[in-house]
């Protein structure tokens, strides 16, 4: 059977945590080793220094007063309270002159100076005996042949070193374990958040398009990633939704003209017709087919526009275009017995495609004329908008679009029910929105200036000025 590691042990964060704890361990080990050796070295150096001092003073006694003075000095030191040193002095024949010990510990008699380690049995004030490890230095006396031993109890030193060793041997594994545990915890936390992202992605793939990554609001990188991912999912959902709607809407919108066509052709087939009525029927049929083709063209155009495949933006005078359009539409407006007013600020430049902006404005003007009743009016204004924009605004006195329907009417094939009786593909405003987006602008719908109940529509195409 294969041993499967828990998922989080395979994550990048865990591997990183592992790496960090290894680095931490190596660093701690180096630090502890340094600490250990430097402490031990310091302790040795300190006792060496005190030993040197001791010998210097005893040496002075010896050189000024000979053996006699030295032995006196040794006695004096032995009886001095609080002395941490042990002494032993012997003459050339090896006879004990003074000292804490009965005889000189084992040593090499040929060396002038040597360090020895040995153990002594001491009697405590309470009468018990303890064995203490000692380190000493034996110095052969010049011109005399005698020898002087100065030694000190190393138990304290050993205890300090031992405590440091203990600390190291206990602390190191604990530190290692803690750093590993910390690494595990951190990596599990990170892995869990990465898992949340992965789970959300899986659920979205599984068709739950509304799923979103939980965002904690901590502003960390996972939150930022989550926010980006959510924004992406919003966009995808919108696109899928619009594709779905478009598909349904195309089917729905084309069904009726196609079935009308079919009926007409059926009738033409089944009934003998006069030349005139046959011509009329065929003429209507051609018109119907043209409308269907027109719808398809509009769909294709919109698709190309959204894919960024259409339009070439150059610096252009949008005021000039607006003036031409006002001139083009004014007669049509008057024909429909509406009054037309235009107010166009001069020489406003945009970076745009003349044909696309023209088409977008035409769509707005066409809508305004279509939905404004006889005696109403259509106004067309071009003026500077806020923050370096230009507002191209068409206001009508038609029924208007209620606020809750505004989002919908700009979508493809989404028409208000009251508008279904009017000719049109249901793509007009969708195209305006696409053109606006392509130019980095927007389409803003609001109420016109009419009374409540029929406020009219104010449609503003806002484009950045160039």
Give residues in contact with another protein (CB under 8 A). 283, 290, 293, 297, 301, 304, 310-312, 324-325, 327-329, 331-332, 334-335, 355-356, 358-359, 362-363, 365-366, 369-370, 424, 428
Please state, in angstroms and as integers, the Cα–Cα distance from residue 228 to each residue in 199, 212, 267, 408, 431, following that order: 16, 11, 58, 26, 28
Q: Which is nearer to another protein, 8 or 380 (CB)?
A: 380
Q: Which is nearer to another protein, 53 or 293 (CB)?
A: 293
State the chain's maximal CA–CA distance in angstroms: 161
- Closer to another protein by CB, 225 or 250: give it: 250
Which is nearer to another protein, 73 or 338 (by Cβ)? 338
User: Nearest distance from residue 308's CB to another protein, in Å?
Assistant: 12
φ and ψ of 313, to 5 deg: -95, 130
Comparing CA positions, the residue from 154, 124, 137 lying closest to residue 87 is: 137
129-140: strand order across its sheet: 96-99, 85-90, 147-153, 129-140, 113-123
Residue 69, number of CB atoms within 10 A of its CB? 15
Beta strands at 113-123 and 129-140: parallel, antiparallel or unpaired = antiparallel
- Least spacing, CB of residue 293 vs another protein, in Å: 6
Q: Which of 191/430 has CB closer to another protein? A: 430
Task: Give the position of tokens 């979508």.
Answer: 411
Q: Which residues pair with 115 in a beta bridge?
A: 137
Task: Report CA-CA distances (Å) from 235 to 238, 239, 242, 404.
Answer: 5, 6, 10, 21
Task: Please tell me the distance from the alpha carbon of residue 425 to that of residue 413, in angstroms, as a whole number.
Answer: 7
Q: How far is the CB of 422 from another protein (least distance, A)?
A: 11
Query: Closest CB to another protein among 175 and 311?
Result: 311
Min dist CB 417 to another protein, Å, is 21
Least separation in angstroms between residue 340's CB and another protein is: 12
Q: Phi then psi for 310, rounded to 5 degrees?
A: -125, 150
What's the closest the beta carbon of residue 361 comes to another protein, in angstroms? 9
Give whichever of 213 and 305 is closer to another protein, judged by the CB atom.
305
State in angstroms the smallest separation of the CB of 201 from another protein: 37
Nearer to another protein, 113 or 307 (CB): 307
Shortest distance (Å) from residue 244 CB to another protein: 26
b or e along 352-378 (b: 16 or more beta carbons within 10 Å of the residue's beta carbon)?
A: bbbebbbbbbbbbbebbbebbeeebbb
């Amino acid at each position: 059977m294969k041993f499967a590691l828990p998922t989080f042990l395979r994550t990048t964060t865990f591997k990183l945590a592992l790496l960090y704890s290894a680095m931490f361990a190596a660093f701690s080990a180096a630090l502890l080793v340094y600490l250990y050796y430097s402490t031990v070295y310091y302790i040795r150096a300190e006792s060496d220094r005190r030993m040197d001092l001791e010998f210097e003073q005893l040496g002075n006694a010896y050189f000024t007063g000979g053996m006699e003075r030295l032995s006196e000095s040794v006695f004096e030191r032995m009886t001095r309270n609080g002395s941490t040193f042990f002494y032993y002095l012997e003459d050339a024949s090896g006879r004990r002159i003074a000292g804490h010990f009965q005889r000189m510990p084992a040593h090499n008699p040929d060396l002038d100076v040597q360090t020895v380690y040995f153990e002594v049995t001491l009697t405590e004030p309470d009468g018990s005996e303890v064995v203490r490890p000692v380190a000493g230095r034996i110095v052969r006396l010049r011109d005399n042949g005698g020898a002087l031993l100065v030694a000190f109890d190393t138990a304290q030193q050993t205890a300090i070193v031992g405590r440091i060793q203990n600390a190291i041997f206990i602390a190191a594994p604990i530190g290692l374990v803690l750093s590993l545990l910390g690494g595990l915890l951190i990596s599990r936390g990170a892995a869990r958040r990465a898992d949340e992202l992965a789970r959300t992605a899986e659920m979205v793939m599984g068709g739950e398009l509304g799923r979103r990554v939980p965002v904690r609001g901590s502003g960390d990188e996972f939150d930022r990633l989550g926010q980006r991912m959510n924004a992406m999912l919003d966009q995808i959902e919108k696109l899928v939704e619009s594709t779905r709607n478009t598909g349904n809407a195309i089917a729905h919108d084309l069904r009726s003209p196609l079935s009308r066509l079919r009926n007409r052709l059926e009738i033409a087939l089944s009934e003998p017709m006069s030349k005139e009525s046959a011509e009329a029927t065929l003429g209507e049929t051609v018109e119907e087919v043209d409308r269907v083709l027109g719808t398809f063209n509009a769909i294709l155009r919109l698709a190309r526009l959204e894919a960024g495949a259409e339009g070439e933006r150059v610096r252009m005078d949008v005021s000039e275009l607006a003036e031409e359009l006002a001139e083009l539409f004014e007669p049509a407006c008057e024909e429909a017995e509406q009054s037309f007013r235009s107010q166009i600020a001069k020489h406003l430049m945009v970076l745009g495609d003349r044909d696309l902006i023209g088409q977008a404005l035409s769509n707005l003007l066409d809508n305004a004329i279509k939905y404004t009743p006889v005696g109403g009016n259509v106004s067309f204004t071009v003026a500077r908008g806020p923050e370096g924009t230009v507002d191209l605004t068409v206001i009508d006195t038609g029924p208007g679009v209620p606020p809750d329907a505004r989002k919908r009417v700009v979508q493809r094939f989404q028409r208000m029910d009251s508008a279904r009786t009017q000719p049109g593909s249901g793509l007009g405003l969708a195209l305006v929105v696409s053109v606006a987006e392509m130019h980095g602008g927007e389409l803003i719908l609001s109420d016109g200036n009419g009374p409540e109940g029929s406020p009219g529509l104010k449609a503003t195409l806002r484009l950045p000025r160039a």
